[in-house]
Amino acid sequence: MALLTILQYPDPRLHKVAKPVTEVDDRIRQLVKDMAETMYDAPGIGLAATQVDVHEQVIVMDLSETRDELRVFINPKIVWRSDEQKVYEEGCLSVPGIYDEVERADRVRVEALNEKGEKFVIDADDLLAVCIQHEMDHLKGRVFVEYLSPLKRNRIKAKMKKQAERA
């Protein structure tokens, strides 16, 4: 396994749209392992392949306190979302130290493949629903700060550029 480099906003590669995985093979399974190791090390609760400059539809997440309930979503599709919306404070490994409120569907139903290439369907609510929508946005080339006002987004962009210059 290997730690991968997480792209930092406003890196333009974060805006690339991920392509579907054509075959869940050893390369994809290795990517999943590397992404999981990277997410746990960061530490975070979710990571999309786009964030590590791999533009394929792969997401890993683990919302457990014990960090031993890895979930893998390959080629995820939201097939239903509730009309009810909920506001959660979100953060992102690609935008470290920045947290803000984002409104999303309260519940979603997602179809995806697991790391064995098997199809599954999951109904998600609360933090799991938020995390799925947040990570799926990455696969579409969208970062959570894009839900914020232009003023907030520009401040965050300036702050992130300053941090990158100092690093």
Alpha-carbon dihedral sign for residues 40, 94, 53, 58: positive
Per-residue confidence (pLDDT) for residue 38, from 0 to 100: 98
Helix (H), strand (E), coil (C) string for 127-156: HHHHHHHHHHHHHCCCCHHHHCCHHHHHHH
3-class SS of residue 107: strand
Question: Is 20 inside any structural domain?
Answer: yes
Question: Is 28 inside any structural domain?
Answer: yes
- pTM equals 0.96
Question: Is 5 inside any structural domain?
Answer: no
Residue 47 · residue 59 · CB < 8 Å: yes
Question: Is 111 inside any structural domain?
Answer: yes
Residues annotated as catalytic (active site), given as ranges:
135
Say how many domains are in the chain. Answer: 1
Question: Is 79 inside any structural domain?
Answer: yes
3-class SS of residue 40: helix
Question: Is 143 inside any structural domain?
Answer: yes
DSSP secondary structure string for all residues of 12-30? GGGGSPPBPPS---HHHHH
Question: Is 89 inside any structural domain?
Answer: yes
Tell me the pairing of strands 46-48 and 85-92: unpaired
Question: Is 2 inside any structural domain?
Answer: no
Question: Residue ranges for the binding site?
Answer: 92, 134, 138
Q: How many CB atoms lie within 10 A of CB 45?
A: 21
Which of 162, 134, 148 is CA-nearest to residue 76? 134
Over its length of 167 residues, how does the chain's per-residue pLDDT go in tens digits? 699 999 999 999 999 999 999 999 999 999 999 999 999 999 999 999 999 999 999 999 999 999 999 999 999 999 999 999 999 999 999 999 999 999 999 999 999 999 999 999 999 999 999 999 999 999 999 999 999 999 999 999 999 988 888 87
Peptide bond into 10 cis (omega under 30): yes
Range of the domain at 79: 10-163
Question: Residue ranges for the binding site for Fe cation?
Answer: 92, 134, 138
CATH number of the domain encompassing residue 101: 3.90.45.10
